[in-house]
Amino acid sequence: MIRLRWMSATGPVPRLHVVTGKGGTGKTTAAAALALALAGTGRRVLLAEIEGRQGIAPLFDAAPLPYAERHLAAGLDGGEVFGQAVDADEALLDYLTMFYRLGSAGRVLRRFGAIDFATTIAPGLRDILLTGKLKEAVSRTESGRMAYDAVVLDGPPTGRIVKFLNVTVESGRLAKTGPIGRHSRSVARLLHSSLTAVHLVTTPAAMPVQETIDAHDELEAADLPVGHVILNKVVGSGTVDVTAEQLRDGLARSGLPADEDAVAALLAEYRTGQDEIAAIDAHRDRLERLGRPVDELALLPEGVDLSGLYDLARTLRRSTGGLRRSPLRPGAAPEGVRDAQ
């Protein structure tokens, strides 16, 4: 596999950020927060989803996302975040127009069910179309500058992510010539280059952490670029030894009952919390052994509203500064993007 390298002053700066995680870990929330974090001053970021769940729009108190790119929110530093729900059928119509100049004839095919038929008998075609649409967004230029400074994808779960990202490699091997072969190889070059980063979202629990480790190993084996690990829904930090005597004194100073039953109940609850924090530390240690940056996002007890989403974005911005900054002027095309086209 040929790796394309575009280096900033501090290392490769990805332009396509694929966010994956086991169901329930909050990968959609993490993807949305990452898009806000990357949307610095003068920067445009596209936040895309592909599974038809419409999970992004509710986070922004917005209407369901269309296939057409739509302004979604302001970034943390005055940039812009756009949203898009990428649909394979619409992407196929784009593909037919782009490569075969079918134009309105493609719409006729859709009315007769030919589009659904094609994506049903060739399931891999759907993923090829979806990844191709992402590549087009990454490499598109408008008025001499890149249309987007970064593209963030709320991707498939960890159990399917390698198959999804690697489908263009397999199709490129089957189709040696023609538009499909060329298209597949160009997408594969982008997805296997340092212009892409696959970020793994997990929670501090045994099953999602193990699935994250397995996905990391599978991505590496497929030569797909792993980015950060995002440890989500973290409660508390550190351990402090608190005695029954300290609790009794604290209750007394507060004018609260300090009987033995109250002290024992508080001590048991505190120790349960400390055990949970110790377990989080153990899970964090396992993730850090992967050798990837581990970013932590706090649990939001009341759920994720728009204000909380911006708070999470600020946390990610502090730990992902190297993914935001570029030595090029805003919107300029990195050499790797041109090579991947």
Cα gap 92→106, rounded to integer Å: 9
Q: Examine residue 244 and state whether it is found in any structural domain, yes or no.
A: no
Cα gap 82→72, rounded to integer Å: 5
Residue 25: is its pLDDT beyond 60?
Answer: yes
Q: Examine residue 243 and state whether it is found in any structural domain, yes or no.
A: no
Q: Give phi and psi for 10, each to the nearest 5.
A: -115, 5
Query: Using one digit for the tens of pLDDT, what is the confidence trace for 83-116?
Result: 999 987 787 777 666 655 555 555 555 554 555 5
- What SS3 class is residue 204? coil
| The pLDDT value given to residue 332 | 43
Q: Examine residue 172 and state whether it is found in any structural domain, yes or no.
A: yes
Q: Examine residue 278 and state whether it is found in any structural domain, yes or no.
A: no
Q: Examine residue 263 and state whether it is found in any structural domain, yes or no.
A: no
Nearest of 32, 90, 44 to residue 66 by alpha carbon: 90
Residues in contact with 107: Cβ distance below 8 Å, sequence separation at least 6, in sequence order: 93
Domain count, the chain: 1
Nearest of 339, 338, 337, 340 to residue 15 by alpha carbon: 337
Least confident of 8-17, 82-91, 103-112, 206-215: 103-112
| The pLDDT value given to residue 268 | 67
Q: Examine residue 272 and state whether it is found in any structural domain, yes or no.
A: no
Cα gap 140→154, rounded to integer Å: 20
CATH number of the domain encompassing residue 196:
3.40.50.300
Cα gap 49→52, rounded to integer Å: 7
pLDDT above 70 as % of the chain: 70
Task: DSSP for 284-303, please give it.
Answer: HHHHHTTTS-EEEEE--TT-
Nearest of 288, 263, 87 to residue 202 by alpha carbon: 288
Domain that holds residue 302: 7-234+292-340
Q: Examine residue 207 and state whether it is found in any structural domain, yes or no.
A: yes
Q: Examine residue 335 and state whether it is found in any structural domain, yes or no.
A: yes
Torsion of CA 7, 8, 11, 13, to 10 degrees: -90
Residue type, 310: Y
- Cβ of 78: how many Cβ atoms within 10 Å? 11
Place of tokens 């900054």: 325
Q: Categorize the per-residue pLDDT at 266 as very low, low, confident or very high, splitting at 50, 70 and 90.
A: low
